[in-house]
Amino acid sequence: MTTTPAPQQHPLQHIAEHWPRLRDMLDTHHGAPWPPAGRMADYLAQLDAADREAVRAARAAQRAAERSPDQLGDRPVPVRLDILDTMRALDAVLLQLADQIAAEIQRPAYGTPRRSAGPLDELGQRMRLVQAADEADARRWHWNGPGRDSGAAAAWLHARIENQPGPFAALDAANRERIERLAAEAAERLDAALDLVRRAQTLDRPCPYCRGELHMHSGDGQPPAVICASCGRTWRETEPEKVA
């Protein structure tokens, strides 16, 4: 199986941008994992020129059975466990990475200055304002509190990679390499969960017309398709008719 990478974007930007989508998918049932096993029968049926009426009848019977309250067996899980596993894995890596990097490069907030002499102590008043602003600087990484997730960690780490200003020392080469490596691995896992990468898989049967090699393509938001590498014939999944 081969994969085609998504358009070039820094992995940390990619994670920060797509993290909300991953979170939204946690309790939904779209975005089936690769390979699309539930569709494989449809593709092979089309390749075998199966009778369309029989296929539609089978699908209708399956949907009717799924709607029946008497149907026994497993029910769909309310939470997508594969998405939950991905989110936990990304949190474990990126939050720990941000915590460790911040511990090394983030300057502690200025300590509370001595009490000002009073309203006329302009310097003392300014120092207290500077200290309060330093503590509340939104660019700082926080080791606890709300908003700690992989999306926030990715955005903060990307700002450090880009040398954006703030109460931080510059990253050294070792930390920069470490961030880049772990971010790339995390982005690959996110792409796999969201099915964002175009994949091609060789089928174990030849083209029924020219006996050429068949490849199944799916991912990156495009409809799945089976394409013959020799004659170029293409098969795509047909939408089942709606049953009233």
Q: How far apart are CA 110 and CA 94, in angstroms?
A: 27
Q: How confident is the model at residue 25 (pLDDT cuts 50, 70, 90)?
A: confident
Give the pLDDT score at 115.
Answer: 67
Higher pLDDT, 29 or 126: 126
Domain assignment of residue 62, yes or no: no
Per-residue pLDDT, 110: 83
When the pLDDT of each residue in the chain is averaged and rounded to a whole number, the result is: 77
Average pLDDT over residues 22-32: 68
Return the biggest CA–CA distance within the chain: 92
**Domain boundaries, position 89:** 10-23+79-107+139-199
- 95 versus 222: the higher-pLDDT residue is 95
pLDDT for residue 56:
56
User: Do residues 193 and 87 both lie within one domain?
Assistant: yes
Nearest to 109 by CA among 47, 168, 195: 168
Is the Cβ–Cβ distance between 138 and 145 less than 8 Å?
no
Element (H, E) at 199: strand 198-206
186 vs 241, more confident: 186
Give tens-digit pLDDT for 42-97.
544 544 543 345 445 555 655 555 554 454 455 555 567 888 899 999 999 999 99
- 240 pLDDT more than 70: no
Euclidean distance between CA atoms 83 and 194, whole angstroms: 8
Q: Once rounded to an integer, what is the mean pLDDT over residues 189-207?
A: 82
Q: Where residue 28 falls among pLDDT bands split at 50, 70, 90?
A: low
Q: Judge whether 180 lies within some domain.
A: yes
Residue 185: pLDDT over 90: yes
Beta partners for residue 200, in sequence order: 2, 217
Domain shared by 208 and 172, yes or no: no
User: Is the residue at 15 inside a domain?
Assistant: yes
Residues 190 and 214 in one domain: no
Give residue 128's pLDDT. Answer: 82
- Residues near 42 by beta carbon (within 8 Å), at least 6 away in sequence: 55, 237, 238
Place of tokens 């310097």: 123
How many domains does the chain contain in total?
2
Which residue type is seen at 112? T
For residues 208 and 158, state if they share a domain: no
Question: Do residues 231 and 207 touch, judged by C-beta distance below 8 A?
Answer: yes
Q: pLDDT value at position 55?
A: 46
